[in-house]
Amino acid sequence: MNPYLAAGALSGGAGLLVFLLIHHFWIKPIWFILPVGLVLAVLGGLAVGWSYAEIRTGLPPRPWTALALALVIFIILAPSIGLAQLRPPPIDIRTGAILPGQTGRLVWIFVLELMLTATVMGAGLGWLLGHTGRASAATALAGLIFALGPGHNIPFLGSTPGVGKGLVLLAAIVVVSAVVLVEAQARLAGLRVFADR
């Protein structure tokens, strides 16, 4: 197995654990999502590991690699964060209920403001950093994965009092995931099992 993919899987799991721990102490416990969440986080981590393999040469050397990778993820999610602040929220943040008449609009907000922008930004940054179609495709997929995973609340929390908590939670997940990805890949690449791969 490729050390980038293995590191990506570890990174996805680490991001999920950070999310669950912070959510437990700061919002409310949701440990019931761990089994399904872990499968999704590991699968998402594989996509992010692939992207890292494709864009790594465009990133600065360690110890700055993880910080640069976290910055790439924030740039990918920045348009959706900004767009969410420019419109009224589609949900009642206190109850979590969708506001009357907002269901259809909420679907479009989620698809256009979050999924599409993250995918397009990922593709652009992948091309800029990796200079190949594979790098563009891999980073587009990684952007989509980060939008659907750690970024899934961006469209709902924009212009609400919960936006601060959401951004802190997102930042913690992104930074921990980036550090785990970069450091795990560096260590795994040195193992004999990966030496000929």
**pLDDT tens digits, one per residue of 129-154:** 999 999 999 999 999 999 999 999 89
Please measure the distance between the N-terminal and C-terminal CA atoms of the chain and give it in whole angstroms: 8
- Residue 98, SS3 per DSSP: strand
Task: Report residue 23's pLDDT band, with 50, 70 and 90 as the boundaries.
Answer: very high
> Which helix (H) or strand (E) covers residue 154, if one does?
helix 154-157
Q: List pLDDT tens digits, range 152-183.
A: 989 888 888 888 999 999 999 999 999 999 99
Q: Which residues contact 98 (CB under 8 A, 6 or more apart)?
A: 90, 91, 106
Per residue in 75-108, pLDDT tens? 999 999 999 999 888 888 788 787 787 778 888 8
142/149 Cα distance (integer angstroms): 10
The CA distances from residue 52 to 11, 99, 108, 194, in Å, are 11, 39, 30, 17
Interatomic CA distance for residues 34 and 21, integer angstroms: 11
